[in-house]
Amino acid sequence: MLKITFLGAGSTVFARNVLGDVMSTPALQQCQIALYDIDPQRLEESRQILETINRNVNQSRALIQCYLGVEHRKEALRGAQFVVNAIQVGGYEPCTVLDFEIPKKYGLCQTIGDTLGIGGIMRALRTIPVMEDFARDMEEVCPDAWLLNYTNPMAMLTGYILQNTGIHMVGLCHSVQVCSEQLLQQLGMEDKLEGRRELIAGINHMAWLLSITDREGNDLYPEIRRRAKEKNATQKHDNMVRFDYIDKLGYYCTESSEHNAEYNPFYLKSHYPELIERFQIPLDEYPRRCIKQIKGWKDDSANLLSDAHLTHQRTSEYASHIMEAMITNHPISIGGNVLNTGHLIEDFPQKACVEVPCLVDGSGIHPTYVGSLPPILAAMNMTNINVQLLTMEAARTRKREDIVRAAMLDPHTAAELSIDHIAAMVDELIEAHGPYMAMYQ
């Protein structure tokens, strides 16, 4: 029987989406689902909700089992064909709060802090040791399984595991498949959605919409550039940073403006505070979302748990589509995060983790060659890749000095702080994180 293991199953909403997709897909419905988490309450909530969906959508054809705690992790993984990772090490409290509040003392503002910047570095360094344990268990009990990673920082985690373990892995993001659709909708070009063709490549959260044409093959970028510049000049909206990218760099990128505001030295600048309002940048956005989600979950969970008629419709998340393509050998194309082996993108080192189109079929996931990017886009990506590679190195060596070096190369951090202040901030963060960062000396 097909076995799917979900690591971090206490992420109930996401587990519901991915595993609800599985139970809505005929080729996957007869399966064993192993739910793993370290939080007993959230694990049980997920089990109850998924059992309801299994009855209502899947005629109870899936066998759902729970595994609580590290001591049961190997059994959760044993014999799995697919492993989905959606963990968050350290949670909102204490770790996310520390990632934002300590840098703020040094004058360093952030918006999301889960991909790059000092917040992304810290999140990677406390998550990589846990994921490496996952990978070692997989090498022992399910060596042929595919690990589908949804946890951020995507490039650092995926890159590290692919470089340092022997498992099959791909990193998956939500932003690639909705990138051009949302762009055209925001610019009033909905009539161009059907039949459009596009190419997206780069790195996670900063992959580029390199080309986009309508159904007749006409280039849509000239009109996109005109409308985006006009909208930024005449309206306040929540996508102003990315539209400024179109104006200044010539291309649109996959991830939101609140994310991209902190991946460069351009917008969050203490000497230019007016840029915050000008580009509608929401500082401390991720903690605000966490507070809202934690508060909202109390009501949402009660409603979901009491809904005996709970159902599900398949989403656009890649996971179930990848599983289906591999099981049935019916090929699909996805945007996946993989190592740049063979220089899929010519401009980047082979150890970089890139986001490129990939073919998925019965024999696995096959990244495609992209070639060279426009020089300005490659340069933008490399400022982020430098930090990613140095953070991976710090995770390998477990040395504080390597963490400081990664932070020194971060575009936003370096633009705001001296090296001495960067080092002091890193020391304070490591100390404050306690057991989550105790391995770094």
CA distance 304 to 297: 10
The residue type at 29: Q
DSSP code string of 224-284: HHHHHHHHHHH---TTHHHHHHHHHHSSEESS-HHHHTTSSSSS--TT-THHHHHTT--TT
What residue ranges in 82-239 does DSSP mark as E strands? 82-85, 146-149, 168-171, 197-203, 206-213
Pairing mode, if any, of strands 63-68 and 252-253? unpaired
Strand pairing partners for 63?
Answer: 32
CA distance 28 to 50: 15
Which residues have a catalytic role annotated?
A: 174
Phi/psi-derived region of residue 354, left when phi > 0, alpha when psi is between -120 and 50, beta in every other case: beta
Alpha helices in 265-339 (DSSP H): 274-278, 285-306, 318-328
Strand pairing partners for 3?
Answer: 32
- H or E stretch at 3: strand 2-7
Lookup: tokens for 106: 């040094």
Residue whose entry in the numeric block shows the structure tokens 């192993």: 34
Of 186, 181, 185, nearest to 198 by C-alpha is: 181
Lookup: tokens for 380: 């933008």
Lookup: tokens for 256: 């939101």
